Structure 1
Amino acid sequence: MRLIVLLFILITSKLLAQSKYSLKGQVFSEGQPLPYANIYIENTTKGTVTDENGTFLISNLEAGKYSVVASFTGFIVQKRTVKISDGDVTINFNLSQSASLNEVIITGTLKPVSRLESPVPVEVYSPTFLKKNPTPNIFEALQNVNGVRPQLNCNVCNAGDIHINGLEGPYTLVMIDGMPIVSGLSTVYGLSGIPNSLIEQVEIVKGPASSLYGSEAVGGLINIITKLPENAPRFFADGFVSGWGEVNLDVGLKSRIGKKATVLFGANYFNYNNPIDNNNDNFTDVTLQDRISIFQKWDFKRANNRKFSIAGRYFYEDRWGGEMHWNPSYRGGNEVYGESIYTSRFEILGNYQLPITEKVNFQFSYSDHDQNSVYGDTPYLAQQRIGFGQLIWDKKTSKHDLLIGTSLRYNYYNDNTTATLNADEVTIPSLFIQDEIGFTKKQSLLLGMRYDYDSRHGNIFTPRIAYRFKPTEDDIIRLNAGTGFRVVNLFTEEHAALTGARDVIIEETLDPEESYNININYLKKLYLKNGMLFTFDTSAWYTYFTNAIIPDYDTNPNQIIYDNLDGYSTSTGLSFNIDAIFGSGISASIGGTYQDVSQTENGETKKQILTERFSGVWSFTYKHYPTHLTLDYTGNIYGPMRLPLLGELDPRQEYSPTWSIQNIQLTYDKFDDFEIYGGVKNLLNWTPNKGNPFIIARANDPFDENIQFDFEGNVIPTADNPYALTFDPSYVYGPNQGARLFLGLRYKLN
């Protein structure tokens, strides 16, 4: 009997050892099944591809421990460990988009093209990037882009602009869906109020792009691409609150209207109504804001897949900063100082492909910006209207990829300042052509030329050339050169000119700036045997400006002097980015920029004010699948920059210290439709008042009632004013908001 039992055990054990099992599951991305993803088991020949529903099956597996990998082009590789012992195993994957090099971009050449094939280097940032450090607007999110810095221009109202490679905000063109609808007066507003969940990607070009986009694209451009309605979730909501009392809410939905139309609706609401004065100067540390933005986009199905989409946005904001006891009853008066800005703005933009055999698109946009603001007792009432339309013919032959276009831009600007006695109204017609010549699969050359006629300045030509060499599938070298131009309206760009703290002096009739730029870019992909992927991206550039218009804060501390530079200015720099995907839920990136921005006049060279010599950004992400937790750590660092002092006796530091903003976040995503996230912003609790006796000069006397001047208009030192200062809030280089907790919730219904 014992022999029979022993024999039975041996036979059963042998059969069990020879049993075969199956591994099955499904692959998702953003809650949607992901078809044709690769599934394989490491160190074996076993693998498969998901079907149209994202499901997979690997059969004939013996008992044991396996490392299972899921991958798909443009997504972060994911690895899971499973143990098979006595039955089939089910495992699911949820892949996240990576900073892939294969995204389709439109910004560099005005036509859809793979990022790898573009002769113009374009950086692309996906919604995954925006989620790493949630912000109420794109303006703040760009703080983690290498070589890009959101610059605050006033301690009181927190007006700001975007610096690219050390160049001031007016050199940056901001677009939505390829339409140049934003200029200096409204850079911040163009980057606020679009729900982040409606953004497909953000494309950034560093360097002149005037040959395609005209004025304002001298330093670079930022193009916000919104989702096609058909690609958006049926409903979404994303809201968070912070320990400072900030509240941000994004909501949106899409709906089919009949058989031909799909509409996407989104709204953003942001409120901050909690005056805080941590540096004890009796001024608000952060501007109070009440903002709402409504966005709608229609997409129509047409014969032969021709495009037709139209979108609109309305934006309203009430913001104020100033003395802690200010309220609207003091608005515009000289009793209690406050800066109050009411902004009302709407935009319309569209793209229509003509019903003809050739591929010809008509693109159009219109924006209307109305600003009612006061800076103490100085009112600034401004209206800006920009209409834009262009026809683009996209024609391909065997070796030539032609783009021929004509555009018409209408600019209207008026304000109540003495510098604008009559409304500035101009219509600028333009012609442009570019030809991308494909010599071989490895080499291509892009030639472009733009002609603009501005009645104020005459004929303007802006050529460019771009060469792409791809010696291997993993290496790309790009060489770009071109020119740019910029027509200036001071009061749309310089907040300091509006505060009333300094007199504005315009020395002469200002001529357009011109620039000459050359940029070389090298990109390298490196695949390692253990599944890791590294992407190296480095650039070097040189830009030379003539007729540069740079505000002079130094000659007279009570004035801002504007004139064309009698000399030249230059911007030279080197940048690098490294992106790494390690597998096992770990990815990271790091970038750095070194730049030298200076102007030379009468043989004397000065470093540009409010421009850092070096900067860096980084991010680290770890996804722990068993707990459904994701850790995101992001940060930036900026080197010293020269600051606007008010004279030799000013006790504030002439140069800012090296400073860093760092953030950490945890996200929990166990539930199918919900994500819970939270963390700490500004971990180091850094603010610009550290190391300074004060930030705002004469905060105790904002209307300069107790200032004494000599016969030449210079401030006289007194017992009450030993440093000979006037009220001035322009000494600002970074956000004045300390460490704070935040907590948020996302919901999405696909």
Structure 2
Amino acid sequence: MKIYIQIILLFTAISLHAQIGNISGKITDGRESVPAAAIIVSPIGYSLAADTDGNYFIKNIPYGSYEIIFSSVGFKTIHKKITVDKPEAITLNIVLEEDNLALEEVVITGTMKEVSRSESPIPVEIITPKLFKKNPTASLFEAVGMINGVQPQLNCNVCNTGDIHINGMEGPYTMILIDGMPIVSALSTVYGLSGIPNSIVERIEIVKGPASSLYGSEAMGGIINVITKSPTKAPIISADTFVTSWGELSMDGAVKISAGKATSLFGMNYFNYNHKADKNGDNFTDVTQQNRISIFNKWNFDRLENRVFSLAGRYVYEDRWGGELNWSKKWRGSDSIYGESIYTKRAEMIGLYQLPTTERIFTQFSYNWHDQNSYYGFTPYMATQQVAFLQTYWDKQFGEKHTFLLGGAFRYTEYDDNTPATASADGTGNKPQRTPLPGLFIQDEWRLNDRHKLLAGYRFDYDKNHGGVHSPRAAYKFSPNANNTIRASFGTGFRVVNLFTEDHAALTGAREVVIAEKLNPEKSYNGNLNYVLKIPTEDFFLGFDITGFYSYFTNKIVGDFDTDPNKIIYDNLKGHAISQGVSLNTDLTFIFPLKVMAGISYMDVFQIEDKGNGEERSQQLHAPRWSGNFISTYTFPKGVSIDLTGNWYGPMRLPILPNDYRPEYSPWFCIANVQVTKKFDYGLEFYGGVKNLFDFVPKDPILRPFDPFDKNVNDPVNNPNGYTFDPSYNYASMQGGRVFLGVRYNFF
């Protein structure tokens, strides 16, 4: 009997063994193979990797239903359900999609070191080219508006100059870096993000809150770091061109060149807008006329032991003007026909060199020259600025737990203009401002264990006018598991005074600038609490990123627009200012091809000033309590996708004149955009859509546009309220709805 049972079991095993199948296929990104992708067969737990050509073969799989998981770094993980019910091999080809919004992207801005985003103790937000291509723009100034809590703000309705607000704080509190170098600052803040070719941008990193312990002055409100592509990883050729129904033309391109042990990336951006639109009928251009060209070149050099050496340079020229429709260059600087004309020339150089030593010691250097030749009506503003920067730091790993950073920096700024800012003490001559700013910094990142990480940093800077400035900071990260992360940070920031170079509202020609006293450096104290939650399920992935922030400012330099309608009076605040609030970002990805991102921010930004008869609270200009953004993408078969993007804002306080008939607070409004993209083989794609879908534009942006030189303000009959020409009432672009069409090409 026993022998019969053994024979039956043997035949049963042979029969079961015969009921097996195979699965094979190729893994690509839609154009090229994805090598070494990880493959897991659930629930049996069998795992393997694709070969260098993206091919895989899963053999001897028993009949049944399975879920196969495909993953690779930089791509979204794909889950495929399949039933094996025949011995013939089943073909399953997989196309992985780039994970443009992945939380694991490498970031450097928070700690000056390359770490994955989830490992950084400092919360960092990222824009990738894939993200800002969902709403193509002619400059990065507009693109950064896709980040929740970051607001590109136009400050003048005539020349359309502006700055970038982070958590409601004005542009001078935002430090703009290119490849970690403070290449964009002071005079060039308005134009620094214009003309950077999109084709050379790898990503944009944004840190909200003070970072002066690493980056020094101006980094007291936040940092925007533009990371350019490494030439070795860039496409051989890339191009992006679009036009709009308003007559805008944007051309962007880059080419990679190899020369021996060096690789170069050459990029160019050209933007032209030459259409005198006046939709609101005030006889002023709704949008400034612009003609801008920017050239960028970056070199990477191969060195022994993979040491780093890179050089980059950029040149920008721009001619922009706005004003009355019948203005031409012959009226430049006259008081007959009003126009604001700005010629800008700018040159930059950036370098990074790793010393040939056993220790990891890096030297960074940069230089920029900026020349501005401008007239605001008949008021001339001629200014040049040169900034040289040198920084050396030692990057050291002590054991397995301590990552140490020690460095020194020196920034030298020379600024000259035709205003009282650079006049000699007796007022008879010119005395350019020369500002040396040396600094030392130290930072230690301590991994207590897999769940806890602590960062401590300190910086000391010495300014010849203000003396020594101390900037400590601390951060803590707690990750109980892969799906939950808590970050807490505290830091201080400082900003030395560069009033004229930073506040272009003072140069519109509409108001006189008054400096009430000698200005002291500003200081800030900031705390942030950040919580990241990931909820992965079989049907969708849901991510939450919520941050509470609080900043306290002393010696804040404020412009008083209210006391006298013809003046801007600058003074250190006799009191303090506060920026506080909470922001929430959500990220929802379904197993079907729909991805949604949405963010909402609540901010309360105000100042409390002692005016002698008690404290008075006033709300910050251009800082809405409520704002948010949204990005939604649905991908159809055959390479077609549709993107819906937008930003919305609640009421924000605006600069008004006494007895102004215009409301002090803007209305709720939303700027929405839609785009359809069709991808073809060989890296070619066409796109088109509508910007400002709801055709929203502000009302009455310019007061008394018919009398821009205030020649008739003293007429009590026709001007009983004493209104003066004022173009600063701004909360959104005057550019209404428009259609755009474009084409992109990338060849690897």
How many positions carry a matched residue from both structures?
A: 717
Q: How does 1:450-465 map to 2 (within 5 A)?
A: 450-465=459-474
- Greater Cα offset, 156-165 or 535-544: 535-544
Asked whether 1:740 is paired with 2:748, we answer no
Aligned pairs for 1:18-417 (under 5 A) are 22-28=23-29, 31-39=31-39, 49-58=49-58, 70-78=70-78, 89=91, 91-258=93-260, 260-398=261-399, 399-417=401-419
2:634 aligned partner: 622
Structure-1 residue corresponding to 2:537: 528
AA of the residue aligned to 1:444: K
Asked if residue 720 in structure 1 is aligned to residue 718 in structure 2, the reply is yes
CA–CA separation in structure 2 for the residues paired with 1:21 and 1:442 = 41
Deviations 1:579-625 (A, max 9, x none): 1221222111111110111111121111111211111111111111x
SS at match of 1:551: strand
Asked if 1:683 corresponds to 2:693, the answer is yes
Kept in 2, the 8 Å contact 1:78–1:585? The answer is: no
Q: Is the 8 A contact 1:161 1:169 kept in 2?
A: yes
**Which residue of the other structure, out of 575, 581, 596, is the alignment partner of 2:583?**
575
2:710 matched to which residue of 1?
704
- Within 2, Cα distance between the matches of 1:90 and 1:535? 29
State how far apart, in whole Å, the 1-side matches of 2:464 and 2:625 are: 38
Partners of 1:63 and 1:281 lie apart in 2 by: 76
TM-score, normalised with respect to structure 2:
0.92
Is 2:600 the partner of 1:592? yes
Distance 1:87 1:482, change over 3 A: closer
Displacement of 1:79 after TM fit? 6.2
Aligned counterpart, 2:560: 552
Q: Residue type matched to 1:232 in 2?
A: A
| AA of the residue aligned to 1:536 | F
Once the two structures are TM-superposed, the CA of residue 409 in structure 1 deviates from its matched residue by 0.4
The answer on whether the counterparts of 1:218 and 1:515 sit within 8 Å (CA) in structure 2 is yes
Q: Which sits farther off after the overlay, 96-105 or 726-735?
A: 96-105
Secondary structure of 1:481's counterpart equals: strand
Q: Residue type matched to 1:180 in 2?
A: P
Can you list the C-alpha shifts for 1:83-107, whole angstroms capped at 9, x where unaligned? 9999864635141223112111110
What SS does the corresponding residue of 1:550 show, helix, strand or coil? strand
Please tell me the residue identity of whatever aligns with 2:56. F
Contact 2:127–2:204 at 8 Å: present in 1 too?
Answer: yes
* Corresponding residue number in structure 2 for 1:636: 647
**Secondary structure, counterpart of 1:33 in structure 2:** coil
1:385-534 correspondence to structure 2 within 5 Å: 385-398=386-399, 399-421=401-423, 422-530=431-539, 532-534=540-542
Instruction: Give, in whole Å, the separation in 2 of the partners of 1:79 and 1:584.
Output: 11
Cα separation, partners in 2 of 1:468 and 1:61, compared to 1, 3 Å: closer
Closer, same or farther: CA 725–543 of 1 in aligned 2, 3 Å: same
- 2: distance between equivalents of 1:157 and 1:389? 34
Pairwise CA distance, 1:456: 0.8
Given the superposition, is the C-alpha separation of residues 156 and 42 from structure 1 closer, same or farther in structure 2, using an over 3 Å criterion?
Answer: farther
| Aligned residues of 1:46 and 1:58 also touching (Cα < 8 A) | no
- Report if the CA contact (8 A) 1:27-1:37 is conserved: no
The answer to whether the aligner puts 1:664 opposite 2:689 as a matched pair is no
Distance, in Å, in 2 between the alignment partners of 1:570 and 1:360 is 39
Aligned partner of 1:49: which letter?
Answer: A
Please list the CA deviations of residues 472-493 of structure 1 after superposition, one character each: whole Å capped at 9, or x if unmatched: 2221111111111111222112
Q: From the superposition, tell whether residues 419 and 59 of structure 1 become closer, same or farther in structure 2 (CA, over 3 Å).
A: same
Percent identity, please.
Answer: 52
Alpha-carbon distance between aligned partners in 2 of 1:502 and 1:207, rounded to the nearest angstrom: 32
Structure 1, unaligned runs of 5 or more: 1-16, 709-716
Residue in 1 aligned with 2:663?
Answer: 653
Which range moved further: 76-85 or 394-403? 76-85
Judge conservation of contact 1:393–1:403 (CA < 8 Å) in 2: yes
- Distance in 1, matches of 2:192 and 2:723, equals 35
- Structure 1: how far apart are the matches of 2:100 and 2:672? 22
* Native 8 Å contact 2:173 2:222 kept in 1: yes
Secondary structure, in 3 states, of the residue corresponding to 2:558? coil
Please give the secondary structure, in 2, of the residue aligned with 1:111: coil
Letter in 2 for 1:433: I
TM-score using structure 1 length: 0.92
Corresponding residue of 1:611? 623
Q: What's the secondary structure of 1:230's corresponding residue? A: coil
Counterparts of 2:445 and 2:65, CA distance in 1: 52
**Contact 1:67 1:82 survives alignment (8 Å):** yes
Kept in 2, the 8 Å contact 1:318–1:343? The answer is yes
How far 1:308 sits from its partner (Å)?
A: 0.4
Partner amino acid, structure 1, of 2:649: Y
Return the offset for 1:326. 1.0
Q: In structure 1, how many angstroms separate the alpha carbons of the residues matched to 2:107 and 2:28?
A: 26
Whole-angstrom CA distance in 2 between matches of 1:436 and 1:594: 31
Whether 1:695 aligns to 2:709 is no
Tell me, what secondary structure is at the counterpart of 1:263? strand
Contact 1:651 1:723 in 2 (8 A): no
Match of 2:5 in 1: none
Distance in 2 (CA, whole Å) between partners of 1:367 and 1:377 is 29
